[in-house]
Amino acid sequence: MSKTMGVASLWMISRARRAAISTIAPMVDLSRGRIGSIPPTRWQEPYMIGFLTMLISIVAKLETRGRLDGDDLGLAQAQAWQAITGLSDDRIGEDICLLSANADPDFWRGCSNAARFFDALYGRQDPVDPDIRELCEDAVLAPAPALTPNEARAFGRAGAIAAALWARYFDDRIC
């Protein structure tokens, strides 16, 4: 973040943060409703840091049409992270940098799963993606379970596939 951060930059950071929170928090809240509270230590695991910060980054960049990067993206990530997790961990940016620089495999797996989940959430399911193929072939989704109204709002048009991937990539890592 530059010393003389302009109003436009602050506005873009705020917009990115709000978009990330409004997209991700409802899904996290559904998980909390299903599995109970999420221990702070779970949020600080490399996989979860990668998964959540990648989701935040994707949503933030989409919301700002790719114009948010560097320190501004880092600030939006940190603010959204704190709002979604409820943790006031001001070291999250440092953790992200260290995990990335050290090529932590769990961190990168979380990042990859977040990108795959996001594609599915927005209706871009790759038929050769092994997780999507498994969900369909194993009839996990057939017949597709009825989504509650809150799930329908959170998972949108991707519906059951996105909900199943969220359970696999997020809930299963919490439990």
Q: Is the pLDDT of residue 1 over 50?
A: no
- Tokens 């992200």 locate to 96
* E strand intervals along the chain: none
Task: Please state the pTM of the whole predicted model.
Answer: 0.86
Q: How far is CA 96 from the centre of its chain?
A: 14
Give the phi and the psi of residue 157 in degrees, each rounded to 5: -70, -20
Query: What are 112-127's pLDDT values in tens digits?
Result: 999 999 988 887 777 7
Query: Residue 68, Cα to own-chain centre: how many angstroms?
Result: 17
What pLDDT score does 17 carry?
97
Nearest to 165 by CA among 137, 140, 128: 140
